Each structure stands twice: as structure tokens, then as C-alpha cells.
Chain A
């Protein structure tokens, strides 16, 4: 297991840092430049969600292996207000912030695995993974 890379999110500069770190972690894990961009874009959406709804939080980046697959795990954590209706937040065009409402559903489309756990009043954790086959 590789060490976890933690990026604190508290300002819009941190959003840029998080997606740049995500890109470099994805590059280290052997992802193509196209996949690096996809991962960076998904991180950008989640990091911005943290800023908009919770004001602060963190993005954790880890490289994982599973048999013949290698992947990047991105965990976005905050202790913000939480999401009352996760199902709705995952629908395209639904936004309570005046945004495009593409953040969560968009990030989900970009990644292979996507999980949201949220408790109102306690915070939200989004875990997403992108996999690539290791060539034998």
C-alpha cells in the first residue's frame, strides 16, 4: 500500500493544487495522459464542492493494486452540512449552490467507482476510483 497524499482544501488555490497532485499521482500509477486529465477533472469538481458547501475539507490520493489492475483512489472528505438527498445530488442539473449541477454526476461519469456517504450536520465523504489494466 502506498502512502496517502493529503491535500487540504480551503481556498480556490487548493482546488488547483489538488487536481495537479491528482494528475501526478495518476501519472505515477501509469495512467495515460487522457486518463490523468479525466482524474484531474473529477478531483476539481469534488474539491470545488468542498469549498462551496463545506468551506474546508481535504482530498486524499492513494495508488492501489488489485491483482492485474492498478488504480487511483480519491477520497474527498469534509465536515460540512452534509447532503440531505444523495440520490438527487447525483442527478444531472440538480444544484443548491447556483452551479451547473454537474459536479457529482459529472465526476461519477469520469470514474469507474463512485460512492457518496453523507450525514446531515456531520459531513460528506466521496470515494472514487479509476482503474487500469496492468499489461502482463
Chain B
């Protein structure tokens, strides 16, 4: 089952709706990384609220998405990990180290807005100014 990916401003939001096979997860990774470029996205949110299990493959794929998106200039935040899922993940030894997480979609958006503001303050590229301002020396 393909995961729908919505574009909202400079963010991409992938909202997982049901249990995913390994192939579905890999497909999501390819689609997100491609769209980061196509839409010049600066942020990616993967909403896993509907996932009832996160095993080692799911966690590895989410980590890959975050690292690949970062290499393409976008920050990723995983939102909606359920309490039981978090418990099982820790028991399995799965930690999502180096990947941002947030409680829900709202917190995820707030996190990405914060990253965007920091970038502007550090002069690392414009945010929310439209593609016309992108060509700088």
C-alpha cells in the first residue's frame, strides 16, 4: 500500500495509514527522497501514528530516510510513535539515534519551523521566501 505524501509549504508530510510491508517502506523512502528534490522541500514529516509495530527494518528505513533527506538539504522528524510501540522498540534495542522525533504532527511542524528559523539566523539559506530568492552566490 502506497503512503500518501502531501506537500505543505516547504515541507513534505508522509502519513502512514496502515501496516506496511518492507517493500512499501522502501518505496516510501525512494518517493520521499525524490520529492525532496522535486519540491525543493526543507522538511520531511513521517507520521507513524497508525503503525502498530516498528521492527528493525522499519526503524532502519526511517533512519535512512532521515539521513538521506539531510544529505539533500531537508530535515526529517518522525511523529506519532505510540507508547506500546516505543516500549517494544526499546526492548528490541532500536533507538532512532540521530533522528528527530516529536509527539505529533503539530509538534513536528513546530520543530521544523524552529530548524528553519535557525537556518535563516545562521544565514544558511532562505526559508519561506520563495524559490526566486534561492540563487545566491
A residues bordering B, Cβ < 8 Å? 12-13, 15-16, 19-20, 23, 33-34, 36-38, 40-41, 44-45, 48, 92, 99-100, 102-103, 105-107, 109-110
- Verify A13–B21 contact, CB threshold 8 A: yes
Known contacts A34-B84, A41-B54; A110/B21 CB under 8 A? no
> 8 shortest A-B CB distances, which residue pairs?
A106-B92, A37-B84, A44-B55, A12-B22, A12-B21, A41-B88, A34-B84, A100-B56
Is the beta-carbon distance between B87 and A37 smaller than 8 angstroms?
yes
Q: A110 to B92, Cβ gap below 8 A?
A: yes
Residues of A within 8 A of B39 (CB): none
CA distance A102 to B52 in the complex (A): 19
Asked if A34 meets B94 with Cβ closer than 8 Å, knowing A48-B55, A100-B56, the reply is no
Mask, B1-30, CB within 8 Å of A = 1, is: 000000000000000000111110000000
- 13 A-B pairs with C-beta separation under 8 A: A12-B21, A34-B83, A34-B84, A40-B88, A41-B54, A48-B22, A99-B60, A100-B59, A102-B94, A106-B56, A106-B91, A106-B93, A110-B91
Question: B residues within 8 Å of A by Cβ?
Answer: 19-23, 52-57, 59-60, 82-85, 87-89, 91-94
A15 touching B85 by the CB < 8 A rule? no
Contacts of B56 in A (CB 8 A): 45, 48, 99-100, 102-103, 106
